[in-house]
Amino acid sequence: MTSLILSDLRHPAGRDFTTDARGPGAVARGARRAVLGLAMAALVLGLAPHAQASAPDGFADLAEKLTPAVVNISTTQHVKGGAGPDQGGEDGPMPQFPPGSPFEDFFKDFYDKQHRGDGGGAGRKVTSLGSGFIIDASGLIVTNNHVINEAESITVTLPDGTKLEATLKGRDAKTDVALLQVKSSKPLPHVSFGDSTKSRVGDWVLAIGNPFGLGGTVTAGIISARNRDINAGPYDDFIQTDASINRGNSGGPMFNMNGEVIGMNTAIYSPSGGSVGIGFAVPSAMISEVVGQLTQYGEIRRGWLGVRIQSVTDEIADGLGLDRAKGALVAGVSDNGPAAKAGVEAGDVIISFNGQDVPDQRSLPRMVAETGIDKVVKLVVWRKGKEKQLDVKVGRLDETETAAAEDTPKSGPATAPAKGVQVLGMRLSPLTPESRRKFEIRDDVKGVLVTDVSPDGPAAEKGVRPGDVIVEVAQAEVGSPDDVAAKVKGMQTAKRKSVLLYLVNGGGEARFVTVRID
C-alpha cells in the first residue's frame, strides 16, 4: 500500500514532483510526511499490509493430496424412444468448437460413445457422468442425488483407473444428497468434512471433479456469497462460488484451504450451459447431517412443527405492528400437530425458534427440520402487538407434508352474482348453503364471501379471487359484509395505508394478504 502511494506521488502522468518553487526536495519531504501519515492511519484502521489475507502461492500440494479421494461416477439407465444426444444426462449436449479445432474430434468421439444406444423407438441405454468423493476408507461415497437418480447401475472410477460397482445406501431428494457404498480389497483414500458455517465470503476454495467426463479437473476461486436460495428445494442454503463448475462437476467436493470439504458442487447458473462464474454448492453442515442419518437409519428423519407459513412482507409487518419484516407468518395450523398442541394460532408470526431468531420464512423449515424429534423447544411468536412464548414438542415430518403455503391461491370461478357490499374492489356477501356449494367451501369455514373482484381494484392486485372467504380483518374475526366495511373504515380513519386480511379459499388453503386502502 505504501509503495503504491509513493509511486503515484512520484510519477503521476510522468511529471516530476521532486522540485517546485519552494526549492529542491521540498515536495519530496512533504510527500514522505503524507505517506507516513497514511501509513499510520492504515495501522489505526486495521488496513496495514500485513493484516490483509494474501493469496496462496499455488494449489499444487493441496490438489495432489486431495485428488485421490475424488471419483468419477457413471450411471446407465434405459430410456424410451430414440431421443437425441441432448437427453444424455449430466454431460449434456456436445460443446461447439470452431471448424478444424483439435478438440472437435475428441469430443465428438466421446459424446458418440456416451450416447450410443439401441436406436429406434423401443428405447436405449444412456450413460450419465458426474463426480463424488470418498468420506471413509471402507468405501462410503457422497454425490448428488440427481447424478444417480433412476440409475440401473452405478460405476465408480478411482483416479488410478480402478472401476468399482456401487450400491445406493440412501438418498435425500430435498437436499440433493446421495450416499453410495463400494467394496475394495484395500482401504481407500478419503477426505473429511469441515465446518461450512465458519466459511466467509472471499475465502479461497478448491473444486475437484469430472467436467464433461474429462476426469480429475481442479479449479480454484473464492466464496462469492452464502445462504443462496435458488428454488431447488425447501431447505436451500447454497454456497455460491466463482470457481469453474461445469456439467459433470455435480457431486464433486469443494475444499477450503485446510483440505476439508465445505460443500458439494451441485448447480450452475449459465445461459450457455458452461461456467460463467456462478456455481452453487450444498454446504457441508447440511451434507454431514444427511449422511449421518442415512448411515444410521438408512432414511431421513426431520423435525415437524405442523404449520403452513408464508413470508412477512413490509406491508404485512406494518399491518401487524412489527418494527420490520421478519419471521414466518402462520397461515394455517395442522390439526393435532405439535404447533396446535402448543397453542400456535393462524396469524402468529414465529420470530424465534429454539433460541434462534427467524430472519425470514424460508429459514424456519430448515431450522425445524434440523431439530431432534420429540425435543421440546421455546417458540416466540408475535401475536396482536406483543411477544408470546410457547413450548412446543417437535414431531417427525411426513415427507408428503407441505412446508410452506402457496404464494398464489388456486383460481376460483371467474364470475359471480354482483350483489352485496362493495369494499376495496371486492363485492362481499354472507355465506349461504348455496354459495358454499357453488364455491366448494367447507362447513367449518366462517366469514364473509368474496363474490366478485374488480380487475383494476386493490384486492385484485394481491390475488384475491371470487370464492375466497374473508375470515379476519386486521386480526379480528368478521361475520358479515358490514363488519368488513366497518373494519376498513376504521383503518382509514386511523390513516393506515393498508389492511391485513386473512383468507380461506374453496380448497381450504389459508393465507394473509395486505390490501392497500384507497
Q: How many domains are contained in the chain? A: 4
Query: Could you tell me if 374 and 510 lie in one domain?
Result: no
Give the CATH number, domain containing residue 503: 2.30.42.10
> C-alpha grid cell for residue 472?
379476519
Q: Would 413 be classed as within a structural domain? A: no
Q: What is the crossing angle of helices 26-45 and 2-10, to 10°?
A: 150
Find all residues with CB under 8 Å of 438, minimum gap 6, and list them: 413, 416
Of 257, 281, 300, which residue is a domain's last?
300
Query: Could you tell me if 114 and 262 lie in one domain?
Result: yes
Express each pLDDT in 69-104 by its tens digit. Answer: 999 999 988 766 544 433 334 444 455 544 444 445
Q: Would 401 be classed as within a structural domain? A: no
Annotated catalytic residue: which of 91, 172, 176, 483?
176
Distance CA 208, CA 260 (A): 12
Of 267, 300, 333, which residue is a domain's last?
300
pLDDT value for 14: 34
The answer to whether the beta carbons of residues 71 and 42 sit under 8 Å apart is no
Active site residue 146: yes
Q: Would 285 be classed as within a structural domain? A: yes
pLDDT value for 380: 96
Query: Could you tell me if 189 and 268 lie in one domain?
Result: yes
pLDDT value for 175: 92
Confidence at 298, pLDDT banded by 50, 70, 90: confident
Query: Could you tell me if 113 and 258 lie in one domain?
Result: yes
Q: Would 215 be classed as within a structural domain? A: yes
Query: Could you tell me if 47 and 93 lie in one domain?
Result: no
Of 284, 300, 316, which residue is a domain's last?
300
Burial 303-341 (b: 16+ CB within 10 A, else e): bbbbbbbbbbbebbbbbbebeebbbbbbbbbbeebbbbe
Q: Would 30 be classed as within a structural domain? A: yes
Express each pLDDT in 467-492 by its tens digit. Answer: 999 999 988 889 899 889 988 888 88
Q: Which amino acid is at 173?
A: A
Query: Could you tell me if 211 and 118 lie in one domain?
Result: yes
Q: Which domain holds residue 348?
A: 308-396
Q: Would 405 be classed as within a structural domain? A: no
Query: Could you tell me if 349 and 269 lie in one domain?
Result: no
**What is the arithmetic mean of pLDDT over 414-421?**
47
Q: Would 412 be classed as within a structural domain? A: no
Express each pLDDT in 132-168 by its tens digit. Answer: 999 999 999 999 999 998 888 999 999 999 999 999 9
What is the average pLDDT value for the chain, to the nearest integer?
A: 80
The sign of the torsion formed by the CA atoms of 372, 373, 375, 378 equals: positive
Query: Could you tell me if 133 and 272 lie in one domain?
Result: yes
Active site residue 190: no
Active site residue 176: yes
Query: Could you tell me if 95 and 141 lie in one domain?
Result: yes
Give the CATH number, domain containing residue 130: 2.40.10.120
Q: Would 187 be classed as within a structural domain? A: yes
Query: Could you tell me if 380 and 473 lie in one domain?
Result: no
Annotated catalytic residue: which of 74, 91, 131, 146?
146
Query: Could you tell me if 377 and 452 lie in one domain?
Result: no
Query: Could you tell me if 165 and 98 lie in one domain?
Result: yes
